[in-house]
């Protein structure tokens, strides 16, 4: 399903210097995984393999944050607890029952060689201005934002922190 949307996106670049597409999924693990696989193929068609790999990794982090921390309202403290107890997957599935219809909306724009992606969720947001992006080495999670900052040229949030915008100038494929 998503592959066709991305194919049309690529095809539209033959006729215009700007292409844009919007994709939305509910907050269910199966949809998130399908979308992430399609995004991987899509990003790989836009740039070099090494750049594509790092972009996909960072974008997966953004989508996972929208899913777990945004729509499923899982706090960092709760995630640490469930990871240490090896119960994270069970907890995510339980939260999907309550919040699974919340949307994650991703907008891709490519103009010339600049890729802009916004990821929005229906969660409450977070205090991104005071977020620790340097977790301890023994932390079970918390490196996602550090990866995103390192990979993308630009990372911004709306005031409430439930919309993330990333930007990257792509080298030619």
How many domains does one find in the chain? 1
Among positive and negative, which fits the CA dihedral 147, 6, 171, 128?
negative
How far from 44 is each of 48, 93, 118, CA to CA, in Å?
A: 7, 30, 18
Cross-strand partners of 168: 115
Assessment of whether the complete model's pTM goes beyond 0.85: yes
Which tens digits make up the pLDDT trace of 143-160? 678 889 999 999 999 999
pLDDT of amino acid 144? 78
pLDDT at 161 over 70: yes
**22-31 pLDDT, tens per residue?**
999 999 999 9
Residue 41 domain boundaries: 2-169
d(CA 84, CA 65): 19
CATH number at residue 150: 3.30.565.10
Q: What is the mean pLDDT of the chain?
A: 90
Residue 132: its pLDDT value, please?
Answer: 59
pLDDT of the residue at 140: 44
Distance CA 35, CA 25 (A): 8
* Residue 135, pLDDT above cutoff 80: no
Instruction: Tally the residues of the chain.
Output: 173
What pLDDT score was predicted for residue 76?
Answer: 87
pLDDT band at 133 (very low <50, low <70, confident <90, very high): low
């Amino acid at each position: 399903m998503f592959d066709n949307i991305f194919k049309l996106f690529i095809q539209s670049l033959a006729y215009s210097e700007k292409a844009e597409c919007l994709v939305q999924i509910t907050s269910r693990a199966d949809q998130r995984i399908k979308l992430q696989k399609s995004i991987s193929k899509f990003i790989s068609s836009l740039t070099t393999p090494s750049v594509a790999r790092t972009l996909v990794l960072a974008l997966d982090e953004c989508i996972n944050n929208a899913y777990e921390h945004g729509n499923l309202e899982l706090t960092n403290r709760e995630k640490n607890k469930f990871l240490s107890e090896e119960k994270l997957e069970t907890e995510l599935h339980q939260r999907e029952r309550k919040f699974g219809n919340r949307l994650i909306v991703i907008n891709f724009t490519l103009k010339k060689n600049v890729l802009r992606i916004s990821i929005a969720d229906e969660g409450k947001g977070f205090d991104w201005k005071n977020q620790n992006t340097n977790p301890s080495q023994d932390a079970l999670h918390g490196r996602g934002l550090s990866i995103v900052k390192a990979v993308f040229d630009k990372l911004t949030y709306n005031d409430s922190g439930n919309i993330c915008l990333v930007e990257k100038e792509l080298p030619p494929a």
